[in-house]
């Protein structure tokens, strides 16, 4: 048991973050996450960091559970319309089968949707975490709004953490008491 708690603390404190991963409570809603097998290990770390931040913010009301790091969206032909519940993180290229709007670094299939597309040839590995934060915001119901995370144009200073404005939108969309969730102020979670 102590080893499990230690591992959770290590995962939660990766990259000198100011939050820790909490244990899933029995009243949580779990959302399975499937990550495209074509991401490399550095990309996977960035995706995990973004999901870990969302799990902290969602405060055990919702838990994003990565169940598959080897999801083959292209083989399964589920790249555009997945079969089943959950969120899918898919690696695409600007000249590939899925067309991305000009200059988009990443995009979600819809507000409240299921798929995040990362246009991998347009982003550096260290930006993936911040794009994941923004795009999961869309999957959880947030629209472009404000100056911070849900601003429509990427800027690492704006996208560094999940702010109160996003939490309010997500809480409203999912019919959660947003004041029971967590958010950051000036780059630190409280």
130-160 pLDDT tens trace: 999 999 999 999 999 988 999 988 877 778 8
The CA R_g of the chain, rounded to the nearest whole Å, is 16
pLDDT digits (tens, 9 = 90+) for 18-69: 333 334 444 679 999 999 999 999 999 999 999 999 999 999 999 999 999 9
Kindly state the tokens that stand for 17: 């973050």
pLDDT-derived band of residue 128, with 50, 70 and 90 as boundaries?
A: very high
Query: In Å, how far are 32, 62, 63, 97, 134 from 56, measured between CA atoms?
Result: 16, 10, 9, 34, 15
Please tell me the CATH superfamily of domain 28-189, with its number.
Collagenase (Catalytic Domain) (3.40.390.10)
Question: CA 21 from chain center: how many Å?
Answer: 14
What φ, ψ does residue 71 adopt, rounded to 5°?
A: -65, 130
């Amino acid at each position: 048991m102590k080893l499990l708690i230690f591992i959770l603390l290590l995962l939660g404190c990766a990259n000198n973050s100011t939050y820790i991963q909490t244990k899933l409570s029995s009243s949580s809603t779990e959302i399975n996450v499937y990550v495209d097998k074509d991401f490399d290990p550095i990309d996977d770390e960035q995706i995990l960091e973004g999901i870990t931040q969302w799990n902290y913010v969602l405060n055990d009301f919702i838990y994003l559970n990565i169940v598959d790091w080897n999801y083959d969206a292209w083989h399964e032909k589920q790249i555009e319309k997945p079969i089943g519940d959950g969120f899918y993180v898919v690696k695409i290229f600007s000249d590939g089968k899925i067309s991305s709007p000009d200059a988009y670094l990443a995009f979600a299939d819809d507000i409240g949707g299921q798929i995040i597309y990362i246009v991998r040839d347009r982003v550096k590995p260290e930006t993936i975490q911040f794009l994941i934060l923004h795009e999961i915001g869309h999957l959880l119901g947030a629209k472009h709004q404000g100056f911070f995370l849900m601003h429509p144009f990427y800027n690492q200073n704006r996208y560094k953490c999940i702010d109160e404005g996003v939490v309010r939108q997500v809480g409203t969309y999912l019919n959660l008491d947003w004041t029971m969730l967590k958010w950051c102020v000036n780059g630190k979670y409280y």
